[in-house]
């Protein structure tokens, strides 16, 4: 199945409400970019289970979220990958 980001809304700097589509299912996900020693992204358990089926696609999701975090232009929808 394909995972795509349909839209992203900023809640606070570093906190985002992301509309995702996975196969035929659409859902909202709160994603947080955390500034630690190395910046990292926190996902819900549900999204972790989808992303961790393929490490390459998890990296693709992280790259997209870091672009959004840095206020870079992102065209929606964004195809993350097939799982």
Tens place of pLDDT for every residue, the chain, 83 residues?
899 999 999 998 899 999 999 999 999 999 999 988 888 999 999 999 888 877 778 899 999 999 999 999 999 999 998 87
Which two three-digit tokens encode residue 58? 């998890």
| 59 located within any domain | yes
Domain that holds residue 56: 2-75
pLDDT at 36: 81
In a domain, 82, yes or no: no
Q: Examine residue 80 and state whether it is found in any structural domain, yes or no.
A: no
Q: How many domains does the chain have?
A: 1
Sequence-distant (≥ 6) Cβ neighbours of residue 41 within 8 angstroms = 31, 32, 33, 34, 61, 62, 65, 66
In a domain, 17, yes or no: yes
Does residue 83 belong to any structural domain of this protein?
no
């Amino acid at each position: 199945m394909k995972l795509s980001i349909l839209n992203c809304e900023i809640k606070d700097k570093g906190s985002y409400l992301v509309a995702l589509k996975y196969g035929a299912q659409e859902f909202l996900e709160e994603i947080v970019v955390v500034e630690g020693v190395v910046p990292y992204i926190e996902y819900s358990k549900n999204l972790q289970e989808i992303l961790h089926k393929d490490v390459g696609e998890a990296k693709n999701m992280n790259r997209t979220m870091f672009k959004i975090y840095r206020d870079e232009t992102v065209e929606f929808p964004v195809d993350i990958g097939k799982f």
